[in-house]
């Protein structure tokens, strides 16, 4: 298990409270999730600036120093509790490819047993880029394979294509690792978060996930659901509620996919809204968006 955090804003903003000073910040969570950390921040350049560490974030001065300096319109952060792959730099999230950064909270069931079958869904030229030993890095490259079948990985991309590619990644992996009829708690856990600095999309499967638009609440929760189609000023995504400054959070539903496009319009779908296809077309039909 790990913990992830994503931030997307219309203007650059500091994320130091979410990472360090809030009541349940990533630093606090890293006391349990102590096997490395990573931060990716997007600035003027298309590709993110990235820092990784292999020790606990709460005791690493580099994490505190970098967190205090980050002010960006897009940030992804992660603290790791190793389940697959040793504790070393090449296994620290976020994983990167060009403009894309990717983090994961969860574990694929019996990954060592299914590794070859999972890797078979990765395009050969992308497979050669894998450096570490984690299940996460393989899932990222399946996502890149599915997205790349729809267009150039470095070009403009729609939030729908990113969401569909993540949905297909989840379905492919589940078809390999999950036993039909098994207890839902025994399924592969796949909370993914991916961004290219503009589009940001996250999934929930078998782990908790929350989103916020930055509004305040004394209870740290919001009775008002943030609906599909809402124009946001900012989006925050986290594995657990970060409530030190009374930010209001919505819980993401199991097997829901959420994301924002380049204009920060919120999109919400159910996993079932995306039909799996063997080879995704370059111009795929738009899925039915869940109205909330």
Q: Model confidence at 284, in pLDDT bands (50, 70, 90)?
A: very low
Over residues 110-135, the pLDDT tens digits come to 999 999 999 999 999 999 999 999 99
Q: How far apart, in Å, are the Cα atoms of 166 and each of 26, 181, 274?
A: 25, 23, 10
| Prediction pTM value | 0.88
* pLDDT of 290 strictly over 60: no
pLDDT value of residue 264: 97
Q: What percent of the chain has pLDDT above 90?
A: 55
Domain 2-273 adopts which CATH fold?
3.60.20
Residue 285 binned pLDDT confidence (cut-offs 50, 70, 90):
very low
The CA–CA distances, whole Å, from 144 to 47, 81, 127, 157, 274 equal 16, 24, 10, 12, 17
pLDDT classification of 60: cutoffs 50, 70, 90: low
CA separation for the pair 79, 74 (Å, rounded): 17
Q: List 4's β-bridge partners, or say none.
A: 78
Residue 24 DSSP one-character state: T
E strand or H helix at 248, and its extent? none
- Which residue is listed with tokens 């124009």? 231
């Amino acid at each position: 298990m790990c913990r992830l955090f994503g931030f997307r804003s219309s203007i650059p903003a500091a994320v130091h409270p979410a990472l360090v000073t809030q009541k349940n910040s990533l630093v606090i969570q890293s006391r349990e999730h102590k096997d490395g950390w990573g931060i990716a921040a997007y600035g003027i350049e298309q590709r993110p600036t990235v820092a990784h560490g292999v020790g606990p974030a709460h005791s690493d001065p580099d994490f505190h120093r970098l967190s205090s300096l980050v002010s960006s319109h897009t940030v992804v952060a992660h603290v790791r509790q190793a389940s697959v792959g040793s504790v070393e730099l090449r296994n620290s999230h976020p994983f990167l490819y060009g403009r894309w950064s990717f983090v994961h909270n969860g574990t694929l069931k019996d990954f060592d047993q299914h590794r070859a079958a999972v890797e078979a869904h990765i395009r050969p030229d992308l497979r050669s880029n894998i450096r570490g030993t984690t299940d996460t890095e393989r899932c990222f490259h399946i996502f890149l394979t599915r997205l790349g079948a729809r267009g150039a990985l470095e070009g403009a991309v729609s939030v729908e294509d990113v969401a569909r590619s993540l949905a297909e990644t989840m379905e492919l992996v589940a078809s390999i690792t999950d036993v039909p009829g098994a207890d839902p708690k025994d399924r592969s856990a796949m909370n993914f978060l991916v961004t290219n600095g503009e589009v940001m999309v996250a999934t929930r499967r078998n782990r908790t996930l929350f989103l916020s638009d930055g509004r305040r609440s004394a209870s740290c929760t919001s009775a008002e659901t943030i609906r599909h189609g809402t124009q946001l000023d900012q989006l925050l995504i986290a594995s657990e509620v970060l409530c030190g400054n009374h930010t209001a959070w919505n819980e993401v539903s199991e097997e829901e996919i959420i994301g924002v496009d380049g204009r920060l319009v919120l999109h919400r779908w159910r996993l079932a809204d995306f039909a799996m296809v063997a080879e995704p077309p370059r111009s795929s039909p738009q899925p039915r968006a869940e109205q909330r």
